[in-house]
Structure 1
């Protein structure tokens, strides 16, 4: 005898479904139901203390099927617990917006990789205009952190406000602020290309870096320092086609 089809005459189970019968109605496996119980997604209506058998009410079938449908969206079980709570429709909309954003990024990356793997890299680079500029020595305020690539955009955006505040404090001669460093940057010649806000996203920005590198090689220029992204526009106010950033390499 298994938990799926227990045989007992307990009056407390009258009107309840065994886990096997409930699984059949919900179109789920008993194993999945045990997992959902463990995670707090779908608790049985009753668990027999002596045998451990689980029993469910018929009106729990709808929730079970809803969990199964959300799983078909590849939604993590932890996220399903949130969606099944308050403001379920709004939370589902937020999850799906994240999925579409991720898929759009993957689609763009796939197109970029197809270009590279098919030998069309040179065509991809032709859309970038590369120039050089001589930059005088200057004082810069910096903030450093080791971060993963996918965390970088969030950190860069958050650092803008801190660096702007640090610049105001430095200008007012109040010295260094938390986690920032003031240093002198020597004069340099930069090879750069100017890109739009839309091109800042991966992998478009990778193509911009590679385009500058390829141009440098063709011009016989050597890299004289770490590459950089130089933002010169109001990011929040800029539209997708507005120029916002220089992808640059110090050269000699």
Structure 2
């Protein structure tokens, strides 16, 4: 190998804008292996034409693209692929995350200054036992909209064959926190008359559940407040009310479609957040 075409790691670091530590890390992770490693000293040397690759790595990492994804993008670039679509997708995802973070910060500031209870009136209602058609999946918030649209479409198709007599609005049961940090079991539910026609030939993943009568702590959200992540403050308000009044949490929380236009953030949307509660375990302060 022509050593005149090689740069020692220190000079290469200066040329590429990456630190020596970063270059060692990218070597270990297989993203940017050196052209030569001295067998005696272990000193790394890089080809001069690797500078542009290192600069590209620096920019991709500044965009918070994970190392594993950077390695794949470099491999595709070496094969002649255009990186523009991947970068555009990353930008779109970053903008979406930023929008969510802005909404979360705004909601947090409102909560700190006014309190969640100022914006969400919590009431209590009773519910009879229900028979529901259910389709569930374990997912994060990014997969929620697509799952619910498909799940309800499939369930309405099954219900129409009966035809089933609906006894109330569709709802979703969340068995845990569903955001981009956590995945949880989510169940799309259609309540129908237990004494009428029953669904048959259920597809895989769809089932019928009998839910017991319940007492719910509830609040309603409308318009943009019913969109993610603004709606999280409504869940928090109900949870705070249950805790403050000494009730027990008696099951997964529901999001009930009181009025749904089919378009997120539409001003005519109206959801109910309903959390099953049990008898107080202690007197409220």
Closer, same or farther: CA 14–241 of 1 in aligned 2, 3 Å: same
Aligned position for 2:86: 91
Any gaps of 5 or more consecutive residues in structure 2? 163-198, 279-285
SS at match of 2:222: strand
> If each structure's strand is expressed as a fraction of its own residues, which one has the higher value?
2
Match of 2:48 in 1: 58
The question of whether the paired residues in 1 share the 8 Å contact of 2:221 and 2:231 is answered with no
Relative to its length, the structure with more helix (as a share) is 1
Q: Summarize the Cα distance change of 1:244–1:91 in structure 2 as closer, same or farther, 3 Å threshold.
A: farther
Q: Which among 105, 109, 112 is matched to residue 110 of structure 1? A: 105
Q: 1:140 to 1:134 in 2, by over 3 A?
A: same
Q: What secondary structure does 1:112 align onto?
A: helix
5+ residue gaps in structure 1? 1-10
Report SS of the residue matched to 2:63.
coil
Secondary structure at 2:133 match in 1: strand
Paired residues in the alignment total: 233
Given candidates 36, 43, 46, the residue that maps to 2:36 is 46
Counting only pairs closer than 5 Å after superposition, residues 123-138 of structure 1 correspond to structure 2 as 123-125=118-120, 138=130
Q: Which residue of 2 aligns with 1:81?
A: 71
Match of 2:195 in 1: none
CA distance in 2, matches of 1:51, 1:60: 22
Q: Answer yes or no: is 1:165 the counterpart of 2:168.
A: no
Shift of the 69–89 alpha-carbon distance from structure 1 to 2, 3 Å rule, reads same
* Residues 35-85 of structure 1: CA deviation (Å, up to 9, x unaligned): 222323223233445654432222221221222233233332223224443
Partner SS, residue 87 of structure 1: coil
Looking at structure 1, the residues matched to 249 and 17 of structure 2 have their Cα atoms a distance apart, in angstroms, of: 61
Larger Rg: 1
Q: Which stretches of structure 1, 4 residues or more, deviate above 6 A after TM superposition?
A: 130-137, 186-190, 213-217, 221-225
Deviation string 1:110-135 (CA, Å, 9 cap, x unpaired) is 2222222234434433xx7x788887
SS in 2 for 1:55: strand
Alignment of 1:1-252 (within 5 A): 12-48=2-38, 52-84=42-74, 85=77, 86-125=81-120, 138-144=130-136, 151-152=140-141, 154-155=143-144, 157-162=146-151, 164-166=153-155, 168-169=157-158, 171-172=161-162, 173-185=199-211, 191-196=218-223, 199-202=226-229, 204-210=230-236, 226-231=252-257, 233=260, 235=262, 237=263, 240-243=266-269, 245-249=271-275
